[in-house]
Chains A and B, each alone.
Chain A
Amino acid sequence: MAKIVGGVTTSHIPAIGNAIAKELFEDPYWKPFFDGYPAVRAWLDKVKPDVAIVVYNDHGLNFFLDKMPTFSVGAAFEYENRDEGWGLQPLPPYPGDPELSWHLIESLVADEFDICSCQEMAVDHGFTVPMSLLWPDRAARTVKTIPVAVNTVQHPLPTPARCFKLGQAIGRAVESYGKDLKVVVLGTGGLSHQLDGERAGFINKAFDLMCLEKIVDEPETLARYSIHDLVRLAGAQGAELILWLIMRGALGDKVSKVHSNYHIPISNTGAGLLVLESA
């Protein structure tokens, strides 16, 4: 049977993609951020996941406002990265696992999560930056991917409680899959940041640190916030915490913390990193 071995949360800021392309790993601005990642890669080398379910938000590459699904699950043989308009070089496609995708889709809909299935799905920096951070050696990367995209563009956004429950449903779906596969779930984005408005540059370190702590053993306390609470406490784009809650829901009741890191600022963001292993 398939098993969720753990989860990783990481910021997915486009500037990280630029810094990787320019190899700024030792640059004083970037070093405290990049230094958080070798421990994550060591953990991935140890657990050797076959599939990564990547929970992210599309920032206007695959979806426009003409059709804005709340939850979308990729069901493709591969996922293309494309030009987002600001100069990040598109990366080669990411292999999918359509058989597991369709199992997820069947299971989620049976479980009353009426997601949008996508046989074509371009993935943007929200997906590619975490993949580059976790598996920098593309040639050696064997992990297959399933993108799960969540609307964080146009309100109403799904509530934190709903996202946590979706994660739990993803967990049940994976555990009911007949093949022996090890699955890791990535919750991307966050933590606090706001790009737009007179409040641009808002970062809430105390809130971020509280989230990094509570999501380990008391995720329900975070799931009680409203989206409006998250916008107020973590900034307009800090609502991406819902992506972390999906990851956490998928991992089940008990997890152990393997590693964490937190650094301010990367671009306009409090950058949080967490590795959780399933019990």
Chain B
Amino acid sequence: MPLQPSPTKDPIPGTVIFDGAMAMRGYALNKMCYSFNEEAGRAAFLADEDGYCDRFGLNEAQKAAIKARNALDLIAAGGNIYYLAKFIGMLGLNVQDVGAQQTGMTVEEFKAKLQAAGH
């Protein structure tokens, strides 16, 4: 039976704590994203996405989330944002683009939300 996430006394809405359970769940996915530090890894992925995912042993949920470029699904599948950032960056997206996607906003709305935090 897979390790279950440790029960927190006080869950934080919209936040996944990347603990041992998540790190085990996401190991293959994060390992693939870690390989995107290198140009060769990025090129190999872009040349054959499915084959590259299989080479790292991604499960079906992880493969589907990669295919859909869906950040929330990638996180639910055990992805850690620091490794996912390499995947995101490789696609030419930045953290505002991904923030907008995760919060269901347009990028302009998301940037306005950040600006508003300063007031």
**Are A196 and B19 neighbours in the complex by a CB distance under 8 Å?**
no
Distance A267 CA – B94 CA, assembled complex (angstroms): 9
- Shortest CB distance A196–B (Å): 4
Scoring B83, B99, B102, B117 by chain A CB atoms within 10 A of each residue's CB, the highest score goes to B117
Residues 1-38 of B, flagged 1 when their CB comes within 8 A of A and 0 if not, give: 00000001110111111111001000100110110111
Interface size class of B (residues with CB under 8 A): 35 or more
Among B33, B83, B114: residue with most chain A CB under 10 A? B114
Q: How far is A196 from B102 in the complex, measured between Cα atoms in Å?
A: 8
Q: Does B113 contact A (CB under 8 A)?
A: yes
Contact A198 B36 (CB under 8 A): no
B89 at the interface (CB under 8 A from A): yes
Per-position binary interface string of chain A over residues 164-200, scored 1 when its CB falls under 8 Å from any chain B CB and 0 otherwise: 0000000000000000000000000000001111111
Task: Contact check, A85 vs B80: say whether CB atoms are below 8 A apart.
Answer: no
Assembly CA distance A7 to B102 (angstroms): 36
Q: Which A residue's beta carbon lies closest to that of B75?
A: A196
A83, A153, A231: the one contacting B15 at CB < 8 Å is A231
Give min CB distance, B12 to chain A, whole Å: 5
Residue of A nearest to B6 (CB): A155
**Which residue of the partner chain, among B9, B33, B72, B85, contacts A197 with CB atoms under 8 Å?**
B72
- B71-A196 in contact (CB<8A): yes
> Taking the complex as formed, is A103 at the interface, i.e. its CB lies under 8 A from any CB of chain B?
no
Given contacts A85-B36, A195-B81, A198-B103, contact A264 B117 (CB under 8 A): yes
- 13 contacting pairs across A/B (C-beta < 8 A): A59-B85, A60-B80, A65-B23, A85-B36, A85-B86, A86-B86, A194-B15, A196-B81, A197-B16, A198-B72, A231-B17, A264-B117, A267-B94
Q: Which residues of B contact A (CB under 8 A)?
A: 8-10, 12-20, 23, 27, 30-31, 33-34, 36-39, 42, 71-72, 75, 80-86, 88-90, 94-96, 98-99, 102-103, 110, 113-115, 117-118
Q: A65-B23, A83-B39 are in contact. List 10 more A-B contacts (CB 8 A).
A: A83-B37, A84-B89, A85-B42, A155-B18, A194-B15, A195-B81, A195-B95, A196-B15, A200-B14, A264-B115
